[in-house]
Amino acid sequence: MKTLIIIPAYNEEENIKKVVENIIYHFPQYDYIIVNDGSIDSTAEICKSENYAFLNLPINLGIGGAVQAGYRYAKANDYDVAIQMDGDGQHDISYADQMLMLIGDMKADVVIGSRFLENKGFQSSGVRRAGIKILSVLIKICTGVNVNDVTSGFRAVNRKFIDIYSKDYSNDYPEPEAIVSAVMYGGKILEIPVVMNERQGGISSIKFWNSLYYMIKVSLAIVIRRISYGIRRK
């Protein structure tokens, strides 16, 4: 299968070389594209000097806009599978084989790398895990589908969802909302256990994880997205 690895990156000068080197070491046969999301550090300069494949967004669109740019690139270049992973070194690309096997065998349309199936490696803070659990329950109520790690940015999707996400992908809270979208478009979602690392360097672009404000906004976004699909089908 023709496979593209999408790497959204915002101010990842401390991490991006390690991420790309790890991909090339494990999977030199797969293509990758870094989406530099308007970084104000030297991320773009590193990509240029190392001759990395990258898109250079002129302004910061946020994680959702950066990932969607990657999906649009995948669609335009006729890829069968897209794997998205963060540019901060948290995700271990060696799990890609398992993801691709499930998609290649048509057992799943979307495969999510989950921290919480075996509870190994970096688990995030207790407050953050509690928030993820609340979102997981809300998505189960809205869609009937249980996903444990709803905020994981380590995912693989097939050609069908490359096309869908290239057209319809949330800017604000993409990971939880993308799960709702996948279910509403008839996709089958599977999780695989993965071990994640702590961010290798730099500062996370996610600012509101520990705030009630963030949880309210994400929860409303999930409900609104679910309702919007119901309205579209009427």
pLDDT tens readout for residues 7-24? 999 999 999 999 999 999
Rounded CA-CA distance 52/90 in Å is 20
Residue with token string 């989406």? 35
- Cα 58 to chain center, whole Å? 21
pLDDT at 211: 58
- Compute and round to an integer the Cα radius of gyration of the chain: 17
Specify the pLDDT at position 172: 80
The neighbouring-strand residues paired with 215 are none
Q: Domain residue spans in the chain?
A: 3-233
Give the number of other Cβ atoms within 10 Å of residue 229's Cβ: 16
Q: 15: helix, coil or strand?
A: coil
> Low-confidence residues of the chain, pLDDT below 50?
205, 207-209, 233-234
pLDDT at 234: 42
The residue type at 75: K
Question: Closest Cα partner for 156 from 90, 79, 103, 78?
Answer: 103
CATH of 3-233, one of 3.90.550.10, 3.40.47.10, 3.30.710.10, 3.40.50.10420: 3.90.550.10
Q: What is the dihedral of CA 154, 159, 163, 169, to 10 degrees?
A: -10
Summarised one tens digit per residue, pLDDT across range 170-208 is: 888 799 999 999 999 999 999 999 998 875 555 554 544
Q: What's the distance, Cα to Cα, between the start and end of the chain in Å? A: 36
pTM as predicted? 0.89
